[in-house]
Structure 1
Amino acid sequence: MNNYSCLALVALLLAATIKADDNESCYSFAGGSVYPAGDPKGDHQLQYTKAVISKPAPPFEGTAVVNKEIVQLSLSQYLGKYVVLLFYPLDFTFVCPTEIIAFSDRIAEFRKINTEVIAASVDSHFTHLAWINTPRKEGGLGSVKIPLLSDLTHKISKDYGVYLEASGHALRGLFIIDQRGVLRQITMNDLPVGRSVDETIRLVQAFQYTDTHGEVCPAGWKPGADTVSVVIIKLNSTSNCISSIQIVPNPEEKTKYFAKNN
């Protein structure tokens, strides 16, 4: 073997070693990724979404586990209530149980404001049931008070634009749907970070307040805080028979709000 061949062989071995080290420095797991050197890059490719703010939420129907029973569940069952639709990557993972348990443990607060929570993943209903039957101390859910919806065909995840084609599961998408079935809010997290129950409740309360009082809510608004008065005009849509709204600013009321709060 001549000197050039030796150098080429060393270069190939070195490149393979570097590649292996790179792979080992980026640990991926179902439910989250830890990026090397704080470099949050991924090959996430999302589907085209049918979920559009202020339009009817994409309808869905599927098999779910509710109170340890396997049932059929659809979005249409919840007309007249607000719905928080919570997508998560996979059962038996790490961040996911903390989110589901957090929302389940506070379901009474949601129901007090006429809101239901549905958690959905691409797992089967049998996997959901097994996860529920696993104690929390062993990474399971134990008894939960919210439905776990199975999206085994990925149709629901794709319709809502949260499905990761390369990974085969959903991102942490959260959708707030109002009592008419209209989509009001979308939040989508990258995999490593869970969502806030407090912020979700605050958002539902804010949308409900604007629906009822015809006022708009400033940043960080909570019930009892000041709002801004506006003129709200309802617009009837002939395509879906659902009224939308147009907010007309009220300069005088805006000035009053800023003078009081600054």
Structure 2
Amino acid sequence: MSFLVTRKAPDFSATAVMPDNSMKPDFNLADYRGKYVVLFFYPLDFTFVCPSEILAFDKSLPEFKTKNCEIIGVSIDSQFSHWAWKNTPVVQGGIGNIQFPLVADLDKNISRQYGVLLEAGMALRGTFLIDRDGIVRHAVVNDLPLGRNIGEALRMVDALQFHEKHGDVCPANWEEGKEAMKPTATGVADYLSKHNG
């Protein structure tokens, strides 16, 4: 949630199911320092909205990787549930052999640290962009029925990297390579007149 933005991402060590289907008992967020990370939480394995998000992240994974960005999924399910879901075909309600880690947050400590744990015991759909130094730079949390936009997650990685490289701000609807609103009163007026008719 927003209180984490600009702060160090809470570190954790937990068991994760890796891209090759092995189970890594000492998976650490700290091991990803030097890379950008999109850390996302979802409610439960074997549900209906979650596979659409996970498959969309997996489809976009090559694009994230070209930006030196890794994807990590987290839910309160066990590593055995994650493994079973990965080994169930998509046509049967599974997610197939997705190529990013799924972390088991069985004790719910990770979800609690990131402020996404509901009283009912499952996590909201939280998405956190973490920079190469382990600082949370962007966070968005959706209620359970609302699937997230993977394209927006990619846009935020682009925006962060653009800012880091050029020192410029990224105004509303900024996209890499597209004309952006200039951050001045005149620039805002010109932008609105062109884009709002």
**TM-score w.r.t. length of structure 1:** 0.69
Tell me by how many angstroms 1:257 deviates.
3.2
Closer, same or farther: CA 130–51 of 1 in aligned 2, 3 Å: farther
Alpha-carbon displacement from aligned partner over 1:128-186 (angstroms, at most 9, x marks no partner): 00111111001001110111000011000000000012x11101111110111000111
SS at match of 1:96: helix
Alpha-carbon displacement from aligned partner over 1:12-68 (angstroms, at most 9, x marks no partner): xxxxxxxxxxxxxxxxxxxxxxxxxxxxxxxxxxxxx79511111111111100121
2:64 matched to 1:138?
no
Tell me by how many angstroms 1:193 deviates.
1.3
1:109-258 equivalences in 2 (<5 Å): 109-165=63-119, 167-227=120-180, 254-255=184-185, 257-258=187-188
Count of residue pairs the alignment pairs up: 190
Give the Cα–Cα distance (whole angstroms) in 2 for the partners of residues 164 and 86 of structure 1: 15
* Shift >3 Å, 4+ stretches: 226-229, 255-260
Bigger drift between 67-76 and 179-188 goes to 67-76
Coordinate RMSD, CA, aligned: 1.8
Higher RCO (Cα < 8 Å, 6 or more apart): 2
Alpha-carbon displacement from aligned partner over 1:43-94 (angstroms, at most 9, x marks no partner): xxxxxx7951111111111110012110131111111111001100000111
Tell me by how many angstroms 1:228 deviates.
6.8
Alpha-carbon displacement from aligned partner over 1:220-257 (angstroms, at most 9, x marks no partner): 1110124578xxxxxxxxxxxxxxxxxxxxxxx72563
**Percent of residue pairs bearing the same amino acid type:** 46
What is the match of residue 89 of structure 1?
43
Cα contact 1:51–1:183 (8 A) shared by 2? no
SS at match of 1:106: helix
Tell me by how many angstroms 1:218 deviates.
1.0
- Structure 1: stretches of 5+ with no match in the other structure: 1-48, 230-252
SS at match of 2:164: helix
Closer, same or farther: CA 256–226 of 1 in aligned 2, 3 Å: farther
- Structure 2: stretches of 5+ with no match in the other structure: none
Give the Cα–Cα distance (whole angstroms) in 2 for the partners of residues 225 and 159 of structure 1: 37
Which entry has the higher C-alpha Rg, 1 or 2? 1
